[in-house]
Amino acid sequence: MHVIDSHTGGEPTRVILDGAPDLGSGSLAERAKRLAAEHQAFYRSVMLEPRGQPAMVGALLVEPVDPTCVTGVIYFDVDAVLGMCGHGTIGLTVTLAHLGRIAVGQHRIETPAGVVTVELHDANTVTVTNIESRRVHQNVSLDVAACGKVTGDIAYGGNWFFIIDPSPIPVEPANIRKLTDMSIAIREASIAQGVGGENGEPIDHVVFQEASPDPAVHSRNFVLCPDENYDRSPCGTGSSARLACLAADGRLAPGQEIIQQSVIGSSYRLSYQPGPNGGVIPSITGQAFITAEATLLFNENDPFRVGIET
């Protein structure tokens, strides 16, 4: 299995070029469901240690349905198949350029959540124009055993987010353990209390937001991903969901650009345009760097061939 690894603001992406199971035909959403239901062992073996690493997202290249797209892609982490992934799309675009498959300019990429547009500015810098993102519930309260009542907004940016703004704990590297524990407890409470998206979709990510002390930076976030790791990048789909909340609250005008940082200080430039269905069309600019080109090996005699399951 040939893969190319990259990181976007510190968050790793592994693009799988070949050697993956055949997901058959149908829409990308149908093929993503098949991947989740029938091929868990495959994607876990690629993401888990010792082959993978914590927080890594896989990007499986598939044939697009829409022939105007340069590729189709299905993203996943060790615990879930994702609707879309912003940092992964920046990493994938830089990888496609590295492979000589695309040049500087605009390209379309099909994901289970819909078609996104990417603009490759140079070997490392990409703007993703995401699918329409929206806030679906405001000021939702959850009773969380570990920390009491927590209130947040529920928004969609290609995945489902519970966004707490302002964060009750400072969004700083020293607090990563505390933020992780609290966000896991919040996600578990949302599931136990039946709180989710507009059709009951489960919350898969939790976001803590806070204003930045640096006047050049609008805000910082901590984002918990389905695999219970935090996003090292400011999370493209999470930033999209957040833009939808800022727009709905009248706190950010269309076209106004802000800088959002992750908990480790990596940043995206963000803006939006109004969407056709009352949401926002987010624009996310970030940088990715290739870290490895590799062939993954699966030795029959390796006791950890399928990864370390804990």
Q: Which is nearer to ligand PYC, 55 or 120 (CB)?
A: 55
Q: For residue 267, what are the CA distances in angstroms to 72, 216, 220, 236?
A: 26, 11, 9, 10
Cite the active site residues.
85, 235
Q: How far is the CB of 246 from ligand PYC (least distance, A)?
A: 17
> What φ, ψ does residue 199 adopt, rounded to 5°?
-110, 30
Non-local CB neighbours of 100 within 8 Å, separated by 6+ positions: none
Non-local CB neighbours of 37 within 8 Å, separated by 6+ positions: none
Separation CA 89–CA 172 (nearest Å): 26
Q: Which is nearer to ligand PYC, 11 or 210 (CB)?
A: 11
Q: How far is the CB of 297 from ligand PYC (least distance, A)?
A: 26
What helix, strand, coil percent values describe the chain, rounded to 5? Answer: 20, 40, 40
Question: Which spans of this chain sit near ligand PYC (rule: CB under 6 A)?
Answer: 11, 57, 82, 85-87, 225, 231, 233, 235-237
Q: How far is the CB of 131 from ligand PYC (least distance, A)?
A: 11
* Residue in this structure with the two tokens 């999470």, named with its chain if needed: 238
Q: Which is nearer to ligand PYC, 86 or 112 (CB)?
A: 86
Q: Kind of pairing, strands 134-144 and 148-156? A: antiparallel
Q: For residue 80, what are the CA distances in angstroms to 153, 183, 218?
A: 22, 17, 30
Q: How far is the CB of 258 from ligand PYC (least distance, A)?
A: 17
Q: How far is the CB of 215 from ligand PYC (least distance, A)?
A: 25
Q: For residue 38, what are the CA distances in angstroms to 21, 52, 159?
A: 10, 20, 21
Q: Which is nearer to ligand PYC, 26 or 173 (CB)?
A: 173
Non-local CB neighbours of 251 within 8 Å, separated by 6+ positions: none
**DSSP conformation class of 288:** E
Q: Which is nearer to ligand PYC, 86 or 279 (CB)?
A: 86
